[in-house]
A and B are shown apart, each in its own frame.
Chain A
Amino acid sequence: MHTGQLPSFSEIYETYKDKVFNTVISYLQNQEDAEEVTQDVFVEVHRSLQSFEGKSSVGTWIYKISINKSLDFIRSKNRKKRFAFITNLFDEKGDVKHEQTDFNHPGIKLENKENAALLFKTINELPENQRTAFILAKVEGLSYSEISQVMDLSNSAVESLLVRAKQNLQKKLSNYFSNERRV
């Protein structure tokens, strides 16, 4: 137990609120959902603070909680969507009705807004571990070693995940432009 060395909950909140919120919003791509999950993360941090064993740094621990809460939220949302699939997917004409709106991250430069919205949309199509590695590297700016601690992987595994994530994104974007040209 390292509770004696741990900062107080309010100090933890002040230090990590932006990191948590930015990680969560990159997964959920919706301001309200991100605020809800940020609350979930800090409630969990408060609840588990006394049992925190200090095997990893507080930052790594909080990143892990943020990622797990975000992925849980997405899975639960997808389950609900699947449940309402038949009623919501098609309108009366049989056209696809349900489509996610583009996400505009508030911190993106104005000239990059359109491109970033497309990149966020494409990130959503990546497998979970590639998505996590890409978000931690590109949005949070973490090093390979920090990502490896958060994801419990070796540095080389993280490097390989990032390479695959970039390749997948390029492939998906290329397909997107090819389909758009055909339309």
Chain B
Amino acid sequence: MEQEKKIEEIMNSFDGMRRAQPSPFIYSKILQRIEGYNKEYSNTRLVWLAAASFAILIILNFLVIKNTVADKKMSSIESQSQGYNLVNVNTVNYN
């Protein structure tokens, strides 16, 4: 019986409870963290932008080199065909 009364008292011990107050400095800490997050976010964006630009540069370089090699190959085939007196079929006049 006494135990039940004690448990009841414990269960009701939150009655009349006042609100706990957070530290007055908490708002400035939150603002600092938000600012830090925004900076971090913009830094991350900047890094991704730089990485993407670099990747595009590499791809363009690769394409230019590939085209140059193909052109060189083509011109060497043409010079060889001229050497063997082969006629380019596109230039034959059948009239």
- Which residues of A approach B to under 8 Å, CB–CB? 13, 17-18, 21-22, 25, 34-35, 38-39, 42-43, 46-47, 105-109, 112, 115-116, 118-119, 122, 138-139, 166, 169-170, 173-174, 177
Q: How far is the CA of A173 from the CA of B37 in the complex (A)?
A: 45
Whether B22 pairs with A35 at a CB distance below 8 angstroms is: yes
- Other-chain residue from A18, A115, A122 in contact with B22 (beta carbon distance below 8 A): A18
* 6 further interface pairs, Cβ-Cβ under 8 Å (given A17-B26, A18-B19, A119-B13): A18-B22, A107-B20, A115-B10, A116-B10, A169-B11, A174-B7
Whether B3 pairs with A43 at a CB distance below 8 angstroms is: no
Whether B13 pairs with A116 at a CB distance below 8 angstroms is: yes
- Other-chain residue from A22, A35, A115, A139 in contact with B23 (beta carbon distance below 8 A): A35
User: Which positions 8-64 of chain B face chain A at CB distance < 8 Å?
Assistant: 9-11, 13-23, 26-27, 29-30, 33-34, 37
Chain A residues whose C-beta falls within 8 Å of the C-beta of B10 in the assembled complex: 115-116, 118-119, 122, 173
- Which residues of B approach A to under 8 Å, CB–CB? 3, 6-7, 9-11, 13-23, 26-27, 29-30, 33-34, 37
Chain B residues whose C-beta falls within 8 Å of the C-beta of A39 in the assembled complex: 26, 29-30, 33
Chain A residues whose C-beta falls within 8 Å of the C-beta of B33 in the assembled complex: 39, 43
Whose C-beta in chain B lies nearest to the C-beta of A42?
B30
Tell me whether A139 and B3 are in contact in the complex, defined as CB-CB below 8 angstroms, given that A43-B30, A43-B34, A115-B10 are known contacts.
no
Q: How far is the CA of A25 from the CA of B17 in the complex (A)?
A: 13
Q: How far is the CA of A78 from the CA of B91 in the complex (A)?
A: 83
Whether B18 pairs with A107 at a CB distance below 8 angstroms is: yes
Q: How far is the CA of A108 from the CA of B14 in the complex (A)?
A: 7
Top 9 closest A-B pairs, CB basis?
Answer: A107-B18, A115-B13, A21-B22, A112-B13, A116-B13, A115-B10, A42-B30, A106-B20, A173-B7
Whether A166 pairs with B11 at a CB distance below 8 angstroms is: yes
Chain B residues whose C-beta falls within 8 Å of the C-beta of A34 in the assembled complex: 20, 22
Q: How far is the CA of A22 from the CA of B13 in the complex (A)?
A: 16
Q: How far is the CA of A87 from the CA of B81 in the complex (A)?
A: 83
